[in-house]
Amino acid sequence: MDYRSGCQGEVFLPGSKSIANRALLLSALAEGTTVLENMLDSNDTQHMRAALRALGIEVIDRVSTQEGGARTETVVVGGGGLFNAPTTSNEQPLALFLGNAGTAMRPLTAALAASQGEFLLHGEPRMHERPIGPLIDALRQLGAEIDYPEQDGYPPLQIHGRALTGGQVRIDGSLSSQFISALLMVLPLLPQRSEVVLTGTIVSAPYIALTVAMMRHFGAQVEWPEPHRFVIAGGQVYRSPQQYWIEGDASSASYFLAAAAIAGGTITVHGVGTESLQGDKEFAKVLAQMGAEVDYQPRSIAVSRGVQPLRGGDFDLNEIPDAAMTIATTALFAKGPTAIRNIYNWRLKETDRLHAMATELQKVGAEITELEDAIIITPPLEIQHAEIATYDDHRMAMCFALLAFTPAGVTILDPDCCRKTYPHFFQDFLALCRLPQNP
């Protein structure tokens, strides 16, 4: 079946959630004032900004005019080191609600464990189902005092902040790279040298490289002599770079690039390219393997539909798990089955994405094999209309938008869940894509 309905245009991507929340924390810990340009204004970054304000950091949001329209930029007046909890009138711990923002919960846990004060970190029910045990185990090796008020290994967390000194620490990286990133960001501020050894099979490794690059940009010295070992000198100080540009969200780029590969025309996304720190820039290479035409530039990527229809394949997408979800829905438009492997950590995200994806793909007629860490998708002869549940997961909503190119169309329940990272996604998507009319 031909889905050549057409996509054409340019997208100026909102800032990356992963980079934005790291940049907010590093700016708060740094000496000096930092202007964060192209700041993402979404639920997850709002939770981080609110938490930093509660910790006594001055955070000022303002709107600037940039190419592609108005953008939010955020000014952070750094505290020049770790935090001191404001004194509460009733001597209760400072409670910080972090929603379902893993990029706020994990790094703040590490930073507050080494700060002064009593803290309670909590979030939405799904956040309390997302494991954090490997990070807590690593911090306890450094002397941290952290309790689990409810279930061991999961938020909420009661943190008794205290001075940590540094030292040798081992951390399991097989569940989430965010645990490693959170630990690394706090270590330069401890007084002694630290050595970190990673255990297990490391997932989403490009996000660790992103964290190290950002730490260095803020003046920290990080040695990475071996793939599973870091050495970080103690007694360091983060220093503001004065201005820091937040790249466009490479995961969000995937939906527009896939749309062009499916429907024809050319889509160019601005804000991510060969110079990007984000591993998800590699998504377009997977589209190329499926038959799309791809052009990389330093800060942009353009995709067009290839001469031949898209074809399925067998892909290990451990390093780009968020963008891998877009390959799962793109597979519906390809010839032959598509296998996406080494994605166990889908199960630990905003929802159990592996089971959610299998469930919703079956609704439209696909034949699905769900494995513990993989999914195999055989597209149907004709995609059926379905009501797609989003599980309050922004990426479920956005990747299933691609089914709008089918004659049957698609109904996406609760599209507002995109506010987590891309509040205006559907507005931007519909502006660029000429969709077929439903029969």
Q: Which residue from 14, 29, 18 is spatially nearest to 73, judged by alpha carbons?
A: 14
Mean pLDDT of 84-110: 90
pLDDT digits (tens, 9 = 90+) for 305-332: 999 999 999 999 999 999 999 999 999 9
In-domain check, residue 236: no
- Total domains, the chain: 2
Tell which of 230, 257, 280 closes a domain.
230
Q: Which residue from 245, 302, 299 is spatially nearest to 15, judged by alpha carbons?
A: 245
Are 225 and 253 in a shared domain? Answer: no
In-domain check, residue 346: yes
Residue 3 has pLDDT above 90, yes or no: no
Strand stretches in 306-384, DSSP E: 314-316, 338-341, 367-370, 374-378
Q: How confident is the model at residue 150 (pLDDT cuts 50, 70, 90)?
A: very high
Please report the pLDDT score of residue 431 as a whole number: 87
The pLDDT > 90 percentage for the chain reads 89
Binding residues, by number, are 17-18, 22, 102, 130, 176-178, 204, 322, 345, 349, 353, 395, 420
Q: What is the DSSP string of 121-147?
A: EE--TTGGGS--HHHHHHHHHTT-EEE
In-domain check, residue 438: no
pLDDT digits (tens, 9 = 90+) for 390-401: 999 999 999 999
In-domain check, residue 125: yes
Are 151 and 219 in a shared domain? Answer: yes
Strand order across the 33-39 sheet: 58-66, 69-77, 33-39, 243-245
Are 225 and 274 in a shared domain? Answer: no
DSSP 8-state code for residue 13 = P
For residue 148, the domain's CATH number is 3.65.10.10
Alpha carbon distance 194, 220 (integer Å): 13
Mean pLDDT of 68-76: 80
Assigned token pair, 406: 């089918």
pLDDT digits (tens, 9 = 90+) for 212-222: 999 999 999 99
Are 203 and 299 in a shared domain? Answer: no
In-domain check, residue 238: no
In-domain check, residue 189: yes
Are 214 and 295 in a shared domain? Answer: no
Cα–Cα distances in angstroms (integers) from residue 232 to residues 173, 185, 187, 188, 425, in the given order: 18, 10, 7, 6, 39
Q: Is 77 helix (H, G, I), strand (E, B) or coil?
A: strand
Q: Which domain holds residue 355?
A: 9-14+248-432
In-domain check, residue 262: yes
Assigned token pair, 301: 């990527």
Are 55 and 106 in a shared domain? Answer: yes
In-domain check, residue 83: yes
Are 167 and 104 in a shared domain? Answer: yes
Q: How confident is the model at residue 6 (pLDDT cuts 50, 70, 90)?
A: confident
CB atoms within 10 A of CB 438: 11
Catalytic residue, from 44, 172, 322, 428: name it: 322
Q: Angle 305-269-41 (CA atoms, 0-180°, nearest 5)?
A: 140
pTM of the entire structure? 0.90
Tell which of 197, 230, 263 closes a domain.
230
Tell which of 230, 260, 283 closes a domain.
230
Are 73 and 182 in a shared domain? Answer: yes
Are 306 and 383 in a shared domain? Answer: yes
Alpha carbon distance 219, 110 (integer Å): 19
Are 285 and 200 in a shared domain? Answer: no
Tell me the pairing of strands 9-12 and 266-270. Answer: parallel
Amino acid identity for residue 227 in this structure: P
Are 255 and 213 in a shared domain? Answer: no
Are 286 and 329 in a shared domain? Answer: yes
Binding residues for phosphoenolpyruvate, by number, are 17, 102, 130, 178, 353, 395, 420
Q: Answer yes or no: 295 catalytic.
A: no
